[in-house]
Chain A
Amino acid sequence: MAENGKPKLALYWGSSCGGCEIAVLAIHEKILDVAAAFDIVFWPCVMDFKYSDVEAYEDGEIDVCLYNGAIRNDENLHIAQLLRRKSKVMVAFGSCAMEGCMPGLANFKDREQMLQFIYKDSPSTDNPEGVLPQLHVEMPEGDLELPEFWNTVHALDQVVPVEYYLPGCPPEAHWIEIAVGAILSGELPPPGSVIGMSVTVCDECPRTRSEKKITRFYRPQEIIPDPDICLLDQGLFCAGIATRAGCGALCPSVNMGCRGCYGPNEGVVDGGAKLIGALASVLDAKTPEEIDAILDTLPDPAGYFYRFSLAHSLLTRTRLEMEGKAPVASPYAEVPRLDPSLKN
């Protein structure tokens, strides 16, 4: 609590797209109420506070930290650890912080592949000497430094303990309002809770679902779907059947399938596995061959099933070929996990 009796609030972004910050703004004029109700002690894009101010706070002095963005370089890790130490309650705000989000698909690749293409092989790159970004560069006037870019994208609770989760890419405005209200009233759920619903997108979707068995998947550009019938019933991939509700089924409302940005439903450890199971129940197939034939019509299943959740899934990433070092074994190891292998 600040001297004025207001709770102290911090907001920060790690590796993110900025959409979560825009989502906070999407509560429009209510942002002024938030500014009035809290003593905002750190919000780099808004407020007059810096890292040194955060370092100067007592441990646990910040009541709540809303952290968006994933962890994928040294700087992200450093600030996440700093804010964890200073905050009583840490909220993983949005899909990146909660489960790695779409940029977590980078865990299907590795750092060298990215550096090779982006700085050497891309059709517009002109780099005959093969220059790559360096952690330390000696320039005539002095040294320049860059933080290390990791192989693996991590969710926030894979590097520091987290009390609450606010799902969504980005979280919808009304859920941000609910979360802020809960913080202000002190009526917070038990630590570890997701602030959200415990049903699926299908329960919010206005389309009529008859749980029809399908014989093939269609790609979105291949058919014009009936506007009132369940997209999955029409053979269009929709992750709504295994995705937490809360968005109001926005994507299906414009004839596009859900991709799962609200994450797995309550109690589900691996969203991709759950989605595979749910989809299996709608396939009109009796033999492994028939199942294969239907799945052949869904390209890139891993990219669909783990679109938002790969970094936090049981898979975490594809196997890295490494010399003498073990890759990160499990995303569920005790936190904080500060061993050097984290970077891999």
Chain B
Amino acid sequence: MTQRISIDPITRLEGHGKIEIFLDDAGEVANAYFQVPELRGFEVFCLGRPAEEMPRLTNRICGVCPEAHHMAASKALDDLYHVDPPSAAKKLRELFYSAFYVTDHTTHFYALGGPDFVVGPDAPKGQRNILGVVGAVGTEAGLKVINTRKQNHQVIKIIGGRPIHPVCGLPGGMSKAINEEEREFIEEVARWNVEFGLWSLEVFDQIVLQNSDYVDLIVSDGYTQQTYYMGLVDENNHTNFYDGKVRVVDPDGVEFCKYAPQEYADHVAEHVEPYSYLKYPYLKDVGWKGFVDGKDSGMYACTPLSRLNASDGMATPKAQEAYEKMYATLGGKPVHHTLATHWARLVELLYASERMLELATDPEITSPEVRAIPTETPTVGVGIVEAPRGTLTHHYETDENGILTRVNLIVGTTNNNAPITLSIKKAAKAVIHGGVVDNGILNMVEMAFRSYDPCLSCATHSLPGQMPLEVTVRDADGNVVDRRGQFCTP
């Protein structure tokens, strides 16, 4: 009897994600499909609008990472208008972006990804959530997490104007400088963040690394795939979130290409499948070979782990130490174990905190010189930042008045569409046998895509709980033979 397992996560950012797993007669996984059933069409309805509105329009692609779209758009506008923002403006943008990274990675680790490890993949589903995490690590720790989010959102509001959907980015700079009083507060938050980042790595060490079952799970075949890895790097090939070149390494960790934002279309192309509204980017020079890994497949991943794999290290001392420890523990670069992404995310959290402190104590950061007025005629502009969920590319073309004539966007999670699909298939094949499906098994499938922190489930980044799944097992005639929930109750 052929079985079909529908996993329908009822959350989404650009759509409600859905997984269809097909079992063969023996109850083994024949295939798995990851579908994104929604489209909103920003590339088309932004046409005819003034380009300078893009930082405020494209915010609405994602209410969880509006800061990433806001910054990618602002940088695309600099390029479009051929204007170089003052140094203080660039630093202010990166400061703002660092605070955002801290909140975003914090919420994913503690509310979404962390519960699988902190509480346990087989823990009762009612405990596998942020409250379970608080129960395991203590109330004081829970308040630390809430406070980190709260303070960094305040920083985002001070610089960006609003805590959600900021408005500060313009071609040529930022709409407002910060004063000394604001800077002092931001410095205080940054110092807190560094301590919080170090503490989070300790929590990971104690709870995950000192548990050999978890380490075995991380390095197991079901969660391992060898793809190309992408990430933004500075001139020293160190990870950078705000600026630099996009570097891609092959599955052996050897640099495959390094490109400036304007060259993105020479390196990345997008494949279309008829069963999903979300396209599948791949490396043009390798080609689309379907949902397979290895050096001959153009599939690439773009996650915290991918970024670390694609870099030669971190630009700040404490994060560099954490980076070295991670690779030493996991057997050197590159690491192909997707669950190690959670560890890499905490290394990045520490880097963002240290970088934020560097910028908050930079003498230039309170400079009132944060705007350059564009004087050139706008033509074409591409802006790239590293969003928490992947390299984010905004490409605009305008007429001579700066009215948009063409817009192309390759959004963070989209990069990972193909590897997520493969990860789900691999995990499903590893854990589903003989047609047996239960809550623990479903959570193991869920963990495969959760490590990517997919934007499709953006609310679950931040709320206590996990991506809710409903699984319906049907026989070949479509009759429901079993129904399982995979949910949590705070």
Q: Which A residues have a C-beta under 8 Å from some C-beta of B?
A: 13, 15-23, 25-26, 28-29, 35, 44-52, 72-73, 75, 101-103, 105-106, 108-109, 113-114, 117-119, 122-127, 131-134, 137, 139-142, 144, 146-147, 149, 169-170, 219-224, 227, 247, 250-251, 253-256, 259, 261, 299-300, 303
Q: How far is the CA of A103 from the CA of B56 in the complex (A)?
A: 12
CA distance A21 to B459 in the complex (A): 6
Q: Does B60 contact A126, Cβ atoms closer than 8 Å?
A: no
Q: Once the chains bind, are B274 and A19 in contact (CB under 8 Å)?
A: no
Q: Which residues of chain A are near B462, meaning CB under 8 Å?
A: 21-22, 25
Which residues of the other chain, A, contact B488 by a CB distance below 8 angstroms? 47-48
Please, which residues of chain A bring their CB within 8 A of the CB of B41? 106, 109, 114, 118
B144 close to chain A: CB less than 8 A = no
Segment from B163-171, B190-198, B209-217, B329-337 that makes contact with A: B163-171
Chain A neighbourhood of B402, CB < 8 A? 219, 299
B146–A124 CB distance below 8 A: no
B440 at the interface (CB under 8 A from A): no
**B30-38, B226-234, B241-249, B302-310 - interface stretch:** B30-38
Which of chain A's residues has its CB closest to B33's CB? A144
With A103-B40, A124-B408, A221-B172 known as contacts, the answer to whether A21 contacts B468 (CB < 8 A) is no
Asked whether B165 lies within 8 Å of A139 as measured between CB atoms, the reply is no
Q: Which residues of A contact B125 (CB under 8 A)?
A: 48
In the complex the two chains form, is B468's CB within 8 Å of A44's CB? yes
Name the B residues within 8 Å of A221 (CB-CB).
52, 77, 81, 170-172, 373-374
B371 at the interface (CB under 8 A from A): yes
Q: A52-B483, A124-B264 are in contact. List 18 more A-B contacts (CB 8 A).
A: A28-B149, A44-B11, A45-B465, A46-B464, A48-B468, A49-B487, A108-B45, A109-B45, A119-B272, A126-B270, A133-B39, A139-B31, A140-B31, A141-B2, A142-B20, A220-B170, A220-B175, A303-B49
6 A-B pairs with C-beta separation under 8 A: A19-B165, A26-B163, A109-B44, A113-B44, A221-B52, A259-B56
- Contact between chains at A132 and B63 (CB < 8 Å): no
Q: Does B187 contact A (CB under 8 A)?
A: no
Please name all residues of chain B whose beta carbon is closer than 8 Å to the beta carbon of A142 when the two chains form the complex: 2, 4, 20, 22
- B1-21 at interface with A (beta carbon < 8 Å): 2, 4, 10-13, 16, 20
Complex: A250 Cα to B163 Cα, angstroms: 10
Q: Is B317 interfacial (CB-CB < 8 Å)?
A: no
Chain B residues, CB < 8 A from A146: 35, 37, 275-277
- Are B463 and A46 interface neighbours, CB within 8 A? yes
Question: Are A124 and B410 neighbours in the complex by a CB distance under 8 Å?
Answer: yes
- Interface pair A131/B273, CB less than 8 Å apart: yes
A126 and B270 CA atoms in complex are apart in Å by 6
Question: Contact string, B77-106, partner A, CB cutoff 8 A, digits 1/0?
Answer: 100010000000000000000000000000
Q: A45-B465, A123-B408, A126-B271 are in contact. Are A251 and B44 (CB under 8 A)?
A: no
Q: Which residues of A contact B153 (CB under 8 A)?
A: 26
Chain B residues lying within 8 Å of A75, measured Cβ to Cβ, are: 16, 37
Known: A46-B465, A146-B276, A221-B373. A29 touches B2 (CB 8 A): no
B160 part of interface (Cβ distance < 8 Å): yes
- Residues on B facing A (Cβ under 8 Å): 2, 4, 10-13, 16, 20, 22, 30-31, 33, 35, 37-50, 52-53, 56-57, 59-64, 66, 77, 81, 125-126, 146, 149-150, 153, 157, 160-165, 167-168, 170-172, 175-176, 264-265, 268-277, 279, 281, 284, 288, 371, 373-374, 395, 401-403, 406, 408, 410, 457-460, 462-465, 467-468, 470, 483, 485, 487-490
Contact A21 B463 (CB under 8 A): yes
Task: Report yes or no: B487 in contact with A106, Cβ–Cβ below 8 A.
Answer: no
Alpha-carbon gap, A105 to B457, bound state (A):
24
Q: Specify which of A22, A51, A101, A105 is in contact with B164 (CB 8 Å cutoff).
A: A22
Name the A residues within 8 Å of B150 (CB-CB).
Answer: 28
CB-CB under 8 A from B281, the residues of chain A are 124
Given contacts A18-B63, A126-B269, A221-B373, contact A149 B45 (CB under 8 A): no
Given contacts A109-B44, A222-B373, contact A124 B39 (CB under 8 A): no
Q: Does the CB pair B164–A170 fall under 8 Å?
A: yes
**B52 and A220: CB pair below 8 A?**
yes
A303→B53 contact, CB < 8 A: yes
Residues of B within 8 A of A109 (CB): 41, 44-45, 47
Closest to A104 in B: B45
Q: A261 CB to closest chain B CB, in angstroms?
A: 8
Q: Which 6 A-B pairs have the closest CB atoms?
A: A19-B63, A48-B487, A141-B22, A254-B161, A45-B459, A44-B10
Given A106-B40, A117-B43, decide whether A256 and B161 contact each other with a Cβ distance below 8 A: yes
Specify which of A18, A49, A144 is in contact with B20 (CB 8 Å cutoff).
A144
Scoring A106, A124, A131 by chain B CB atoms within 10 A of each residue's CB, the highest score goes to A124
Nearest-neighbour CB distance to chain B for A1, whole angstroms, equals 19
Complex Cα–Cα for A85 and B184 (A):
52
CB-CB under 8 A from A17, the residues of chain B are 13, 59-64, 66, 458
Collect the chain A residues with CB atoms within 8 Å of residue B485's CB: 48, 50
* C-alpha spacing A219/B284, complex, angstroms: 38
Give the CA-CA distance A303 to B46 in the complex, in Å.
9
Residues of A within 8 A of B470 (CB): 50-52
How far, in angstroms, from A275 to B129 measured CA to CA in the complex? 46
**Cβ-neighbour of A118 out of B12, B30, B43, B60 (below 8 A):** B43
Give B276's nearest chain A residue, CB to CB. A133
- Residues of B within 8 Å of A140, CB to CB, are 31
In the complex, which residues of chain B have a beta carbon less than 8 angstroms from the beta carbon of A73?
37-38
- Greatest chain B CB density within 10 A among A18, A20, A51 is at A18
Shortest distance from the beta carbon of A343 to any chain B beta carbon, whole Å: 14
Which B residues touch A227, using CB under 8 A?
A: 176
Chain A residues lying within 8 Å of B4, measured Cβ to Cβ, are 141-142
Q: Which of B16, B43, B489 contacts A48 (CB 8 A)?
A: B489
The residue that A122 contacts in the complex, of B16, B162, B270, with Cβ under 8 A, is: B270
A315 vs B270: C-alpha distance in the bound complex, in angstroms? 35
B68 CB to closest chain A CB, in angstroms?
12
Chain B residues, CB < 8 A from A122: 43, 270, 408
Chain B residues positioned under 8 Å from A254 (CB to CB): 160-161, 167-168, 175-176
Q: Chain B residues near A45 (CB, 8 Å)?
A: 10-11, 457, 459-460, 463, 465, 467-468
**B371 surroundings in chain A (CB, below 8 A):** 224
B272 pairs with A22, CB closer than 8 A:
no
Q: Provide the residues of chain B in CB contact with A118, threshold 8 Å.
A: 39, 41, 43-44, 279
B488 (CB) vs chain A CBs: closest residue: A48
Cβ-neighbour of A300 out of B16, B170, B403, B487 (below 8 A): B403
**Other-chain residue from B81, B274, B464 in contact with A131 (beta carbon distance below 8 A):** B274
Measured CB to CB, the nearest residue on chain B to A148 is B37
A144–B32 alpha-carbon span in the complex (Å): 11
Establish whether residues A20 and B63, one from each chain, have CB atoms under 8 Å apart when the complex forms. yes
Minimum CB–CB distance from A171 to chain B (whole Å) comes to 10
Measured between C-beta atoms, what is the minimum distance from A252 to chain B in Å? Answer: 9
